[in-house]
Amino acid sequence: MKRVLLALVVLAAASAFQTGVPASTHAQEPDRQKMEQLFYQVLEAKDPEAFVKGLSDSDRALWNEAAKVVEVKEEIVTRYGPAQGAGMLGTSCWTQQKRRVGENFLGYDLWRFYLRIYWCENGTWIQSPVSWYNTVDINYPWWSYSGLVGQSVTGGPGYSYYSVFTQGEFKYCPGGTCIQYSYPWINLVGYPGGWSSWTGGGGTGW
């Protein structure tokens, strides 16, 4: 009889634990809703700094999490070209662009990092002129762009390719204290015939 009672007690305890798990998971959902609300309130505020200063410590902590990058994503290469009227007789000129974006848990682009290259070719070799440049978008308060932390260029006129690598630094510094860094990079290569290839990466620190 004692063994039966003990087994019933164990089963009851296990059942209570199992029914408690969904409740605990569900209890976290309001925090995500609050994070989303705070994120957009700061974005839409006329004075974001004053708004954040007025938050409670717990709300400020939730907002800080909402404004962090959780994923650095690649986006479709945009092809521009051939460029009209560029290059010498028998050559064609092309531009190609790639970008990476830093998204928060809502899928909002906190920043964007672009690399565009320009090259001319005669069907066999790369020809002059060639060039490249980076641009960025900053889409949320306290995120900023520090500039390139790495770059290299290989190939070019007289070669069968033109390759450009750049890596930038973005940082999130609310209240003057930096709590997250991101280092997206892109390598974009142009070839004779106007086709190109690319790779990209870059995650977060802290």
Q: In this structure, are residues 157 and 127 in contact, taking their beta carbons and an 8 Å threshold?
A: yes
Mean per-residue pLDDT, 9-32: 45
Instruction: Return the pLDDT at 18.
Output: 38
pTM, 2 dp: 0.80
Longest distance between any two alpha carbons in the chain, whole Å: 100
Instruction: Return the pLDDT at 144.
Output: 98
Half-sphere exposure of 104 (CA within 13 A, CB side): 22
Q: Are residues 17 and 37 in the same domain?
A: yes
Amino acid identity, residue 75?
A: E
- Output the CA torsion sign for 159, 131, 101, 67: positive
Q: List the Cα angle 180/57/107 in 5-degree steps.
A: 45
d(Cα 76, Cα 15) in Å, to the nearest integer? Answer: 49
Contacts of 181 (CB under 8 A, 6+ apart): 169, 170, 171, 172, 204, 205, 206
d(Cα 64, Cα 54) in Å, to the nearest integer? Answer: 14
CB atoms within 10 A of CB 8: 10
Domain count, the chain: 2
Residue 83: pLDDT band (50, 70, 90) is low
Residue where one domain finishes, among candidates 36, 66, 96: 66
Q: Are residues 45 and 92 in the same domain?
A: no
Instruction: Return the pLDDT at 1.
Output: 46
Tokens encoding 57: 């410590």
Q: Are residues 121 and 163 in the same domain?
A: yes
Q: Are residues 76 and 47 in the same domain?
A: no
Q: Are residues 78 and 55 in the same domain?
A: no
Q: In this structure, are residues 72 and 97 in contact, taking their beta carbons and an 8 Å threshold?
A: no
Residue where one domain finishes, among candidates 13, 35, 66: 66
Q: Are residues 175 and 132 in the same domain?
A: yes
For the cut 70, the answer to whether the pLDDT of residue 177 exceeds it is yes
Q: Are residues 166 and 111 in the same domain?
A: yes
CB atoms within 10 A of CB 56: 8
Structural domain including 84 reads: 71-205
For the cut 80, the answer to whether the pLDDT of residue 185 exceeds it is yes
Residue 33: pLDDT band (50, 70, 90) is very high
Q: What is the pLDDT of residues 101-116, one digit of tens each?
A: 999 999 999 999 999 9
Q: Are residues 48 and 77 in the same domain?
A: no
Q: What percent of the chain has pLDDT over 70?
A: 76
Residue where one domain finishes, among candidates 10, 44, 66: 66
Instruction: Return the pLDDT at 152.
Output: 98
Q: Are residues 89 and 136 in the same domain?
A: yes
Q: Are residues 106 and 49 in the same domain?
A: no
Q: Are residues 86 and 154 in the same domain?
A: yes
Q: Is the peptide bond before 129 cis (omega within 30 degrees of 0)?
A: yes
Q: Are residues 123 and 176 in the same domain?
A: yes
Q: Is the peptide bond before 82 cis (omega within 30 degrees of 0)?
A: yes
Residue 41: helix, strand or coil by DSSP?
helix
d(Cα 35, Cα 47) in Å, to the nearest integer? Answer: 19
